[in-house]
Structure formats: structure tokens, C-alpha cells
A and B are shown apart, each in its own frame.
Chain A
Amino acid sequence: MLRIEHFALTPGKIRVMVIEEMQIANGKKVLVFGDNQVGKTFFLQAVHGSHSQYAGTIQYKGKSNFFKKKEASILIENTAHVIPGETLWKNVTIPFGKISKRQKIKIFELLKSVDLSEKIGQKQQSLSVSETKLAELVRAVIQLPHLILIDDLDTYFDEKNYLKAMNILQYAVSNGTIVLATAKRKLELFDDYYREQDKKVVKL
């Protein structure tokens, strides 16, 4: 369970992106949506542990310092974190030291579900932005972290690819991972929705 209380981003003395309470149970997908420049990215970074200018508490299973273990959550940002000169397969398997046969099969299945199985030998630089994002999603999902945080989910995908992305995320969600995403507009297939309104985030 992810529990966020009395949260506010504090760039200087101004309090923005105020969240009085947000509770997300394991295996749930939650979307926070709102306009640009309201602090959605900083909010995700705060949950991830890479941004510290905020007030309030962020707890996972009752522990507030869970994000000190960075591998507890994976943040998929606007900028793609891939090595352009390496193949798709190498980029997907990069966090694994030794990869088991079972993991290999699962990765292949997931890549196949998003029509990337035939491109595993291609260099990352030859893939499109949406394909790169799908590869990043596969890479995050296969590790089954506590949290998957996705910034600006609506930016990368058309309707067809969006469904593919949600299909991939379902694999992690069904294993108890929490998916917390942000977008500019309301998207389908999420369990709970939060909307940013007048610097406050409210549950719909």
C-alpha cells in the first residue's frame, strides 16, 4: 500500500500540487492528470526518491524511506533511458546480471505482445519513440518492482499502442505492482483517477 499524506511540492515558499491524502493498494493502477507545469513530474520524482523539495509523507507499507532503495520503484520519464548503440534486447535486459531462461521467455512474450519480438536484434536508435517507450515498459514490468511510475503517459502512444502498453502493465499489476502515471488528460483502463485543480489534487 502506497500512502501519501499532506503532500505538497515546495519550490521556494509556494505550495503547489497539494495532496491531502492518496492511498493506493497493491495491484492498482492510478492516474493523476492535469495541465502542464503543475508539478506532475516532480511529484513522481518525489515518490521515486529523486526529488526532495516537498512537504508531507510518502510511505510504502508503513515505511517512509522505502525509496532509498532505488530499485523499489522504477520511474519512466519523458527522456528515454536507453543506450542507442545497443540492441533492443540488450536495452531490455540491461538491469539483469544473469537472466534466467524463464525471464527470457517472459521478456520475449511481452515483446511479442507489442510486436517488438522481431526487432530484438535491431539497434535502439532505429526504433521509434513509442517502440522505445514500450521497450522501457517491458524492462520495468519484467522486474516486478513495488512501484512503476510513468510520466506523461499520453505523450508517446496512439490508441493502438496505448492498449498494448496497458496490456504490458497488466502483467506487473496482476503480480501486485502499483502503477502510478501522470497525463494531461483522463485516460482509460485505470482503477483510480486524481485530478489536479487549482494546485490541489483531488480524487474523482
Chain B
Amino acid sequence: MKKRIFFQVIVIMMILFIWNCLHLGYNYQNRLYEAELSDSPMILICSDLKPLQNLKTALDTTSIVQYTVLEKDSLIKRNLLETYQLNNAEALLGKFNVPSILKIYFRGVEFSAPQKRELETFLNTSYPEVIINYNDTFWQNSLEKIALLKKAYFYSNLFLAVFLLITIVFLRLHFEMKNHEYWRVFVRAGGKRKVRHLRFFLHSLWLCVVPVGLNFGAYFIAMRQHYLPVEMDIRYFPAEGIFVIFSVILSRIFIGKHF
């Protein structure tokens, strides 16, 4: 009987491990996509510095913007001279009016379609002189990838929850039915009926506590040893425990009168 419980603990632990890997994998990939999105700035070009300075002040306080970088015309000129080694052309370049630029770095997915539309409308109406340069295709693709990832994450969670539920119910039913003859003889031989109920409760307790506990322990050690590139919300662990308890209760209901 101990072997059977051990087997059930291992199976549930493995499924929970896969489930936790899914959370970690999602967090990792999502962070990657968001970082890509944040790394691609919107560039506002204007020959006059004043509107860009005003814009910087206004945008720095909004939630969609991570940070902004204002590059003045003098800085751009110097960059040009250094990059292309145009030391001899310094006097010539001084005669030209080089525009200033404002780079806006967004906070990943928070800069979604409505926010983008709102910002573009605001810029076009309030600052018509500002030229907007932004890689719309990349932004669109990134948002689609993130949306797809979320969808895949949701369905994977659903699948794993159903799979875990079916597995626990099936395992509990299977092993209880397999032990049915033993318990029949046990009662006929003078054994107390409540022993079976007590044993079922104790085994259920093992199934609810040990796999979740071991998974949490493994996660805790991995975090402490810096093996994981991302963290996961530790509230997932009690949630998984509650789900296992629910599955065990369901299996007890299914066993019902056969007990």
C-alpha cells in the first residue's frame, strides 16, 4: 500500500513540476517580449527644441512611458562628427540647422493599441511640427506575439488543471478499488470500519501536502542558488494545493458508497 501512495505522490509531483515550469517559462518569455518592445523607442524629430522639452516633461509622468531621452542638435552634431570622423567638416556642419530628437521608451505591453492611438492623436493635434518615427510593424508583431503567448499560457493552464484533476481522481479510484477486497476482508475479519476512512484521509493528506511541498522546496532552493532567470508568484503553490485537495475530495465523492 505504501508503494501505491508513493507512486501517486510521484505522479502528482511530476505534473505539478511541469505546471510550475509552465509558469516560469511564461514569465521568462513574456519578459523577453516586453524587453524587446521596450528597447524599440519612438523617435520624435523637431527642428525646434522647445516642443520636445515640453513633451518630455509631459510624457515622463505617464504610466505608459518607461523613460525618455532628449538629444539636442549640438549633441547630434558632435555624434555625427565622431561617428563619421568629419573633423574637417565641423565649420561646415555648424552652418546647418540640425533638428533635435526625443526618444521615448515605452513600458512593454502597457503601450497597446488604444494608448498608441491616443498618443499619436495628441502629438498630431498639439505638436503638428513634430515628426514621428516609429517601427509600427515591429510593435504590432510584438503585441501579437505577447497576445499569442498569453493565450497559449491560458490554454496550457486549463489543460494541465484538467489533466491533474483526471489523474488524481483516476489514481485514487483505481487504487481504492484495487484495495477493496483487502478492506472487505479486513472488516469481515473484525477490523474497524473507521480505519479505512482514517487511512484514506491520511493518504489524501500525503497527496495534498508532499507534492506541493516538494515543488515549493525545489523552487525555493533554485531561487536561493540563482538557478532561475525569472521568479514566479509563490501564491501559485497554495493554489495548487487547494486544487489537489479539491481533486481528492472529488475522488472521495466518486468512490461514494463503494467505501
Q: A residues bordering B, Cβ < 8 Å?
A: 70-71, 74-75, 81-83, 91, 94-97, 136, 139-140, 143, 145
Chain B residues, Cβ within 8 Å of A74? 189-190
Cβ-based interface call for B217 (8 A): no
**Which residues in B have their C-beta under 8 angstroms from that of A70?**
187, 193
- Give residues of chain B (161-198) contacting chain A, Cβ–Cβ below 8 Å: 181-182, 184-193, 195
Alpha-carbon separation in the docked complex, A97 to B191 (Å): 9
Q: How far is the CB of B192 from chain A (nearest CB, A)?
A: 6
4 pairs of A and B residues whose beta carbons are closest in the complex = A95-B191, A81-B188, A74-B190, A95-B189
What's the least CB distance linking B134 to chain A, in Å? 74
| B2: min CB distance to chain A, Å | 14
User: What residues of B have a CB within 8 angstroms of the CB of A97 in the complex?
Assistant: 195
Establish whether residues A71 and B192, one from each chain, have CB atoms under 8 Å apart when the complex forms: yes
Chain B residues near A71: list those with CB within 8 A.
190-192
Q: In whole angstroms, what is the CA distance A83 to B189 when docked? A: 11
Question: Which residues in A have their C-beta under 8 angstroms from that of B189?
Answer: 74, 81, 91, 94-95, 136, 139-140
Cross-chain pair count, CB within 8 angstroms = 37
Contacts of A95 in B (CB 8 A): 186, 189-192
Q: Which residue of A lies closest to B183 (CB)?
A: A94
Q: Give the Cβ gap from B87 to chain A, nearest Cβ, in Å.
A: 94
Alpha-carbon separation in the docked complex, A128 to B178 (Å) = 26
Q: Is the interface of B mostly helix, strand, loop or mixed?
A: helix
Q: Which residues of A contact B187 (CB under 8 A)?
A: 70
A/B interface sample: 29 pairs, CB < 8 A: A70-B187, A70-B193, A71-B190, A71-B191, A71-B192, A74-B189, A81-B184, A81-B188, A81-B189, A82-B185, A83-B181, A83-B182, A83-B185, A91-B185, A91-B189, A94-B182, A94-B185, A94-B186, A94-B189, A94-B191, A95-B186, A95-B189, A95-B190, A96-B191, A136-B189, A139-B190, A140-B189, A140-B190, A143-B190
A74 to B182, CA, bound (A): 17
CB of B188, distance to nearest CB on chain A (Å): 4
Which residues of chain A have C-beta atoms less than 8 A from B186's C-beta? Answer: 94-95
A96 neighbours in B (Cβ, 8 Å):
191
A59 to B192, CA, bound (A): 21
A76 to chain B minimum Cβ distance, whole angstroms, is 9
Taking the closest CB of chain B, its distance from the CB of A85, in whole angstroms, is 10
Query: B191: nearest residue on chain A (CB-CB)?
Result: A95
Chain A nearest CB: distance from B165 CB in Å?
A: 32
What is the distance, in angstroms, from B95's C-beta to the closest C-beta of chain A? 100
The distance from the CB of B200 to the nearest CB of chain A, in whole angstroms, is 14
Nearest CB of B to A80, in Å? 9
What is the CA–CA distance of A145 and B189 in the complex, to the nearest angstrom?
A: 11
Q: With a 10 A CB-CB cut-off, give which of A75, A91, A95 has the most chain B CB atoms.
A: A95
**Pair A145/B195 contact, Cβ less than 8 Å:** no
Instruction: Kindly list chain A residues whose C-beta atoms are within 8 Å of the C-beta of B191.
Output: 71, 94-96
* A139 CA / B189 CA spacing, docked (Å): 7
Distance in angstroms between the alpha carbons of A193 and B195 in the assembled complex = 37
- Residue interface mask B205-232, A partner, CB < 8 A = 1: 0000000000000000000000000000
Pairwise interchain contact B185-A145, C-beta atoms closer than 8 A: no
Q: How far is the CA of A139 from the CA of B188 in the complex (A)?
A: 11
| Bound form: Cα–Cα A145–B76 in Å | 100
Shortest CB distance A16–B (Å) = 26
Measured between beta carbons, the chain A residues less than 8 angstroms from B193 are 70
User: How far, in whole Å, are A140 and B191 apart by their CA atoms in the complex?
Assistant: 10
Residues in A neighbouring B190, C-beta threshold 8 A: 71, 74, 95, 139-140, 143, 145
Closest to B185 in A: A81
Bound CA–CA A91/B182 (angstroms): 10
Q: How far is the CA of A136 from the CA of B182 in the complex (A)?
A: 15
- A100 CB to closest chain B CB, in angstroms? 16
Give the complex CA separation of A136 and B188 in angstroms: 10
Q: Closest CB of chain B to A4's CB: distance in Å?
A: 22
Q: How far, in angstroms, from A97 to B255 measured CA to CA in the complex? A: 23
Question: With the chains together, A143 CA to B189 CA distance in Å?
Answer: 10
Interchain CA distance A91-B186 in the complex, whole Å: 9
Docked Cα-Cα span, A94 to B186, in Å, equals: 6
Residue of B182, B190, B191, B195 with highest tally of chain A CB at under 10 A: B190
